[in-house]
Structure 1
């Protein structure tokens, strides 16, 4: 039987325990995580969670995966990590995450233990959750109302996509964080090269929508802004877990030494 918490978040949670860290791939950038034990988060700057973050996580224990390296073992400043489960035999994976605060731009960067994650959502799973929002919510927020139109435009280019940022967070968590002027941020899965012509066509189509749209192409090596790629500059900024890198080709990136950048 499904309980009230399962209904609230759209389905049963993952089993949290020693095997939870071993049941599939680790989350990637922009994934949403429902934390079983929010107190296990560790701020990247060290110390304890600030009061506003503890208050937010008590009510809405959702965090967003950041584009940064995963840490294996225990954070260096944590002698005795707070855990939700008994110790696992293999080293813990700590996922880089961001906690969204109640004020605009209020963010906390932290590490979350993978074994304490109860549920995950990838961006491409989120458009279908629009129907779960409270009645009237979609009509109030153009960025939410336009999701089917965006899906049609992206489908013409055979790309898997999903909303990220505030819109993605609201669809996954159900927390009403978007407003009438909220922009729409998208991730476009592009494991294979996209032509400049297709990128330019898609950018122009998205720019005609009545809300600002920022899309990023996610390659196997990182992400590049759709608008920047479509403009065909000599070099592009590739966003990677190790930080931004200047490259000529986001699908076959090369570093300053000429060597191919590997993940």
Structure 2
């Protein structure tokens, strides 16, 4: 009598995996923790961070989080990364304890410069967020295609949201990686309706290699024909410069860097003026 052969074990990649829980604003929620959330890199300016314990934020001015910031973070624990440099270790002027559990024997904490956006005009809070508190990160280029997640009537009523596909096509014609930032980027990433009828469309253009003045001028003119003000910045390896300023061909440009603004001649090969 033939002995039946046992069924071969399924390869781990072929086993049925339980789907991750869906996030409220599209896509599965990623595994929490800095390695899963940041892919081993520090975030850059304009990235959106979802915090798993927003109470660990430390205001730059010291003290506790204001009431409006605590209310915002309870409802939508998203913050925007600023351009200031990260801080390693514990900031000396904000001694309140970190509320995220972490291994005390681990390497010193990285504190990321972030901004909390409030519901009222002018409600902005600059703070430091521990890297260990980050549950998810979204770069501007990752939110460019999330317009379909917003209600169609909302998009039609807000010019900056409605103009997004046309702006994206103009930038794509110049072969630049791009993404919305500011209020539009925040709303696309989080689903929170913060963009107003008069809000400009702010975009970042990834430009690790030099862009010619001629191409910059052509893109600026094309974007200026859209029915909404467009504020674009070229992000180089050393910082960002406004597209309009670079296209105007001035002898001196303001380069925005983590250490502060610098007056340079060439944003790709910066030398102080």
TM-score scaled by length of structure 2: 0.89
The Cα offsets for residues 94-148 of structure 1, whole Å up to 9 and x where unpaired, read as: 1100001111121100000111111110000112111111242111111111111
- Aligned partner (choices 179, 186, 199) of residue 169 of structure 1: 186
Supply the distance in 2 between the matched residues of 1:32 and 1:146 (Cα, whole angstroms): 22
C-alpha distance in structure 1 between counterparts of 2:214 and 2:243, whole Å: 12
Pick from 207, 212, 217: which aligns with 1:200?
Answer: 217
1:29 aligns with 2:41: no
CA shift in 2, pair 1:242/1:12, >3 Å? same
Question: Are 1:30 and 1:65, in contact at CA under 8 Å, matched by a contact in 2?
Answer: yes
Q: What secondary structure does 2:145 align onto?
A: helix
Quickly say closer, same or farther: Cα 1:62–1:22, change in 2 above 3 A.
closer
Does the CA contact (< 8 Å) of 2:31 and 2:37 recur in 1?
no
Task: Decide which of 54, 60, 78 is 1:38's aligned counterpart.
Answer: 54
Give the equivalent residue in structure 2 for 1:77.
93
1:250 paired to 2:245: no
Structure 1 residues 18, 30: CA separation in 2 closer, same or farther (over 3 Å shift)?
A: closer
CA RMSD of aligned residues (A): 1.6
Q: CA contact under 8 A between 1:144 and 1:167: conserved in structure 2?
A: yes
Residues in 2 aligned to 1:161 and 1:22: alpha-carbon distance in whole angstroms = 19
- Give 1 or 2 for the bigger CA radius of gyration: 2
Distance change (3 Å), C-alpha of 1:211 and 1:70: same
Cα distance in 1 for partners of 2:120, 2:81 equals: 19
Residue 21 of structure 1 contacts residue 93 of structure 1 at CA under 8 Å; is this kept in 2? no
Which runs of structure 2 are paired with 1:234-249 in the superposition (5 Å)?
234-249=251-266
Given that 2:37 and 2:137 are in contact with CA atoms closer than 8 Å, whether structure 1 keeps it comes out as: no
In the alignment, which residue of structure 2 is the partner of 1:260?
none
TM-score for the superposition, normalised by structure 1: 0.92
List alignment gaps of at least 5 residues for structure 1: 257-263
Secondary structure of the residue aligned to 2:129 is strand
For the structure 1 residues 51 and 173, does the alpha-carbon distance in structure 2 shift closer, same or farther, using more than 3 Å as the test? Answer: same
Match of 2:155 in 1: 138
Question: 2:3 matched to which residue of 1?
Answer: none
- Give yes or no for contact 1:184–1:211 (8 Å, CA) kept in 2: yes
